[in-house]
Every structure is written in C-alpha cells, then in structure tokens.
Amino acid sequence: MNKLDIAKSEPLWNTNKNIIYIISFVLMFLIALPLFGLNSFYLHLFIMIFMHAVMAQSWNVIAGFSGQISLGHGAFFGIGAYSSSFFFVQYGISPWVSIFIGMFFSAIVAVLIGIPMLRLSGHYFAIATLLIGISFQVVFQRWELVGAASGLWVPLTQGDSWSSLQFHSSKAPYYYIFLFFLVISFFAVWLLNRSKIGFRLRAVRDDAQAASSLSISVSNYKIIAFVISAMIMAPMGSLFGQYILIIDPDRMFNIEISIIVLLITVLGGIGNIWGPLIGAAILIPISEYSRIYLGGTGGAVDLIFYGLILMIICIFRPEGLISFVPKDILERKKQR
Amino acid sequence: MTSEIILQAIVTGLMMGLIYALIAAGLSLIFGLMDIVNFAHGEHLMLSMFSSFWLWSLFGIDPIFSIPITILLMALCGIVTHYFLIRYILKAKMLIQICATFGLSIFIRSIAQLLWTPDFRNVDKPLLEGRLEVASVFIGQPQLIASIVCLAAFIGLYLFVTRTETGLALQATAQDRHAAEILGIPSNKMFAIGWAIGLGCVGVAGGMMSNYFFIFTDVGINFALFAFVAVALGGFGSIIGCLYAGIIIGLVESLGGLLIDPSFKLLYVFAIYLLVVIYRPQGLFGRY
C-alpha cells in the first residue's frame, strides 16, 4: 500500500460513538473513586498515572504527531516546576497563577531551543535534545538564584490551602486537580489532532517536502509542535512540585523523566491520542509495585522492567498496545 | 595562567580525545553500516570496564593483559546484541530503532546496578602507574599508554576497513545493502561483524581506561554523549572524521574547563556540536 492509499483509508473524523460512552463511563468512575475511601497509596498511584499520562501525551505531540524524537523532554518538566515554585517562594505568587508563568517560560524556552534545531532532524535532533536535557540539569545544579544543588523548598502552610495549592490532610484534592489537568490536556490534544494544525503537523511528519510544496511552513509547524508540547509538560512540573513540595535539580531534571515519557508513549501506541493513557495505566502500577516489593534490593528494578518492556515492544509490537484494541471501537466505520 | 598549564591542558585533552575517537569510531561503524545509532554505547563501555575489573579482581589478571579477553567478550556481546535485538528492528522506523537501543541501554545499566551496586570501584595497583615529566608537563603513564593503544587500534580499524576484503565488504554493505547482497556479500553476517568490531573498539577503550578511571555503573553516560557528539561532528558513518572530532572534543573539554569553568564542560562540547551541526549538517567529513 503506498502512502496515498493509507491517507485515503484514514477517515477524516475518526471518532466513534462507542468511545464517547467509554470515556464518559471511565471519567465518572474516576470522579467517584476517592469517595469510596481509597487509602493514600492508591490515590498516589492514580495521581502518578494521571501525571505520567499527561507527560507522555506531551511527548506524543512532538514525537507522534510531528515526528521529532526528543530525548530531553524532562527539561520542560523541570522548567515548569522551577518557574512556578520560584515565583511562589520568592514573591508569594499563588501557584494557580505561576502555573501559567511556568507554561509561558517553557514556551519561550521551546522557541529558543526550537529555532536553532530546525535544521536538525532524525538522529541529530535526538542527540541534540538528549544533550539539552542534561545541560539543563547541569545549569540548574549550579544556579545559585534557584538554590543550586539543594533546590527550592516550598514554604508549608498551616493546614490545607486551596490558594497556595497545598493539602496535608488528604491526597484527594491533588487527585481531582491532576484529573482535571488530565481531562483538559487530553481534550486539548484531541482538538489539536483534528484541527488544521494537527493535519499539517502530520503532513510535515509523513513527508516534509510534500508538505512544503503545499505551502505548509515546515519550520513554523515544527516550532508550534515543540511549543504546544512544552506547554502541556510544564503544568505537570508545577503541580508535581506542589505535590512533593521540594524542587531539586536531581529530581526535576532527571533523565528518567525523559525516558519514561518515551516508554509510556511507545508502550501505549505512538501517534495515537489514547496511547499515553493506556501506557501510563499499565506501566505506572508495575513501576510502583516493583518498587514496593523489590525496592530494597538495588533501587533500579523498575528500570530493568522499563528497558525490557521497551525492547520487547519495539521487536514485537512497534505500534504499541493500542493495536490490540479492535479498530471499530476506536474509529468510525469507513463510509463508502 | 602560565603557558605550562595551557600546555598541560592541551596534552590532557589530546590524550582524552584519542580515547573518545576510538569509542566514537565503534559507534560510527555501526551507524554507517545499518543506519542505527547505538544508544547503549555508553553501557557497552561500562560493561567492558567492568569485565576488565572483574578479570583483575577475580583472576588477578592485570588490565593491560586482559585486553584481548575484554575485546573478545565485547565482540561476543555485539554479536548477541545483533542477534537478539538489532536483527528484528532493521526495517523498523527510526523512532523504534532509537527506542530499542535506548531500552537496551536502560536495561544493561540497571541490571549492572542490581548485580554490582552503584559503588565506585577502581583497579588497585595496576602495572601501569606513575607519571612522566616532559618539559614541565605531567603525563600520567596509564593515560599515555591508553591513548597510544587507542590510536593504534584506531589506525588498525581504519586499515582493516579500507584495505582488507572483509573491510571492503563492510563498506559495500554500508553503501548499498541490496547491491552488496547481489554480489554475494551476506548483509546479516556483515552486520554481525560490524557489531563485533564496533563493540571491540569499545572493549579496547574500556579496558585501557580501567587502569586509571573509576569504574561504576553510570560511567558510560558521559563518554557516550561525547561519542554521539564526535560521530555527529565527524559526520555519521565517517570513521576518519571521528579521529578529528574526538580530538576536538577532548581539547574543547580540557581547555574550556581550564579557561572558563570546569563544571560546565558538557555545555562547551554541546555548543561546538550545535555550531557545527547547524552550519554543516552533514558534519565535518559526512557523506550526507
């Protein structure tokens, strides 16, 4: 099958009625879940799943939709975390506002990184982003203004506080906040995917030359994808900073973040909007449970699983786990 | 800042650069052959250092004598990698290839961490020790020998690829896999040979470095980064480009560390990478 046939066989609005029922059922279930009195470990598990699903979705936008493989995406996570906490710690700006400051800064950094990297593609791009991810960690480890290697400590409030986004008595508010951001960002990516920008991004991914012959500005759209992806990633950094209340370069710019978003997306199904959610829902419990039961043995047991799963998926199912789901659930039937 | 210090930095950088060049040459050979970047290259370096360490620690073989064993082990490791992983992803998309070797790197590193813990180790009292003083420049003996051996291995690799029949077959496979197969060169065998030689180079570098470098599970990351940069600088697939790129990186690293601030070494190398790749995307000696 050549590329034209593939393009023809792809329905324009591939949303099925079934999936809307599934989504609303799952969503109602998730909203009701904390009311059953889950203990804080399960709440934490769900919070981690939501957070990683959004992070992986951010990576999916850049790698799946626009075809650039970024190996340093953790940088935007760290920038989000640092800028929101920095403004909160230094100037007392509420985290609700500084989340947007974090998004703004990541967008700027994405443009600044994106412009010089426009000419790079494929392996060159991947290696450059890998270096960028590590460079950010090196810089933040030595930057005195943001606390250098010891990082920033978010000042604790007395009791729970919605305005400064801290909850000490229960994890349920965090659960709802992360769920809210999960819904928002998936909806945004869904809109993006079926908008003009989304189609153009995929055109650039599939064939940059053909796309530019149709007067699509390849470089503009590459930067747009980078910026959108960074703006999805940054709030997760900010919220995670508020969740654990300490922001240090080793955690926030950890290379593991860049690895895990890649892993989740590839596991779930790259280029598919539901891939990151499936990947996160499967991988995060594996990781958390392997940490519980095998954690004391050497610290890196969950990473062994990550590497193994990644290789197995690449060999046997490069389309990801989403390819096991029957097509007619995900997509509307072709109309002839 | 006297001229002696600068001279010292240049000599140190040169010696480091030759080691980077050999590591990068292995990476470049594999890339040129099958268009796959081995993101687990640093982990393979780590494995070779550990193999040299364990041969010393368990059997008392000095690293300088265990080099042939290390090379053999690494070549075997390369063939195993090819047969169990790379063979299946040859025709996959680039993204899948990157993810697969990236997965391999995570896997090797964390297995090593589980087996050997993240402790720092070093070879106690190796045969090569001490330093020479030449015109007020101090040269560590193990470093000097390591860089000479690496240079020799590099020249050997270059002669092998350009002069021998197998080397020419490798080049033919790199240029056009299908045309080479028509001429009776089995590409799968060539790929396995490429992996064996590529990791053999890493074996030489790792074995020589275990004489003086700390051996720990994350040791490969920085070397692999510099090797990626060297390969991109020299041009993907160009072996001779790696030599120049490796030396450039070694010099930039040590001079930048001396003149500006040693904690940002990585950033200088990265800046060089960006500059070269932006103005000359095919690298210094690249074919494309």
Judged by DSSP in three states, B139 sits in: strand
Q: Is A296 on the interface with B (CB under 8 A)?
A: no
Tokens for A207, please give them. 């064939």
pLDDT of residue B261 exceeding 90, the answer is no
Q: Please tell me the distance in Å from A161's CA to the nearest CA on chain B.
A: 40
CB burial readout B45-73, b (16+ within 10 A) else e: bbbbbbbbbbbbeeeebbbbebbebbbeb
Whether B190 has a pLDDT exceeding 60, the answer reads: yes
pLDDT band for position A336 (50/70/90)? Answer: very low
**B189 contacts B237 by C-beta, under 8 angstroms:** no
Judge whether B43 and B281 are in contact, CB under 8 Å: no
Cα separation, B47 vs A255, in Å, equals 21
| Residue pLDDT, tens place only, A304-330 | 888 888 888 888 888 888 888 776 666
- Mark yes or no for CB contact A314/B89 under 8 Å: yes
Which B residues 4-33 touch A at CB under 8 Å?
A: 31
- Taking CA–CA distances from A139, the nearest residue in chain B reads B264
Q: A146-160, A277-291, B20-34: which has the minimum mean pLDDT? A: A146-160
The pTM for the full model equals: 0.85
Are B92 and A314 inside 8 Å of each other by CB?
Answer: yes
DSSP B120: -
- Does residue B260 belong to the interface with chain A, where contact is any CB pair within 8 Å? no
Cα B106–B202–B156 angle (5° rounding)? Answer: 155
Amino acid code (one letter) for A170: S
Q: Kindly determine whether residue A315 and residue B99, on different chains, have CB atoms separated by under 8 Å.
A: no
* Residues of B with Cβ-Cβ distance to A318 under 8 angstroms: 92-93, 96
The Cα B195–Cα B202 span in angstroms is 11
Q: Does A297 touch chain B (CB under 8 A)?
A: yes
Q: Spell out the domains of chain B, with CATH numbers in brackets.
A: 3-279 (1.10.3470)
In A315-334, the residues whose Cβ lies within 8 Å of chain B are 315, 318
Task: Using an 8 Å CB-CB cutoff, list chain A residues near B89.
Answer: 314-315
pLDDT exceeds 80 at position B153: yes
Least Cα distance to B195 among B76, B280, B111, B35 occurs for B76
Residue contact B109–A303, C-beta within 8 A: yes
Helix pair B239-259, B3-34: axis angle to 10 deg: 150
Looking at the complex, report in whole angstroms how far the Cα of residue A244 sits from the nearest Cα belonging to chain B.
Answer: 25
Task: Give the domain ranges of chain A.
Answer: 3-330
The complex scores an ipTM of 0.81
Q: Residue A113: closest CA among chain B residues belongs to which residue?
A: B274
Collapse the DSSP code of B236 into the 3-class scheme (helix H, G, I; strand E, B; otherwise coil) and give the result.
Answer: coil
**pLDDT exceeding 70 applies to what percent of chain B?**
98
B105 contacts A69? CB cut-off 8 A:
no
- pLDDT single digits (tens) A212-260: 888 888 888 888 888 999 999 999 988 888 888 888 888 888 888 888 8
Contact A315 B89 (CB under 8 A): yes
CATH number of A3-330: 1.10.3470
A204 touches chain B (CB under 8 A): no
Q: Which of B96, B236, B267 sits opposite A135 (nearest CB)?
A: B267
Question: Residue A300 above 90 pLDDT?
Answer: no
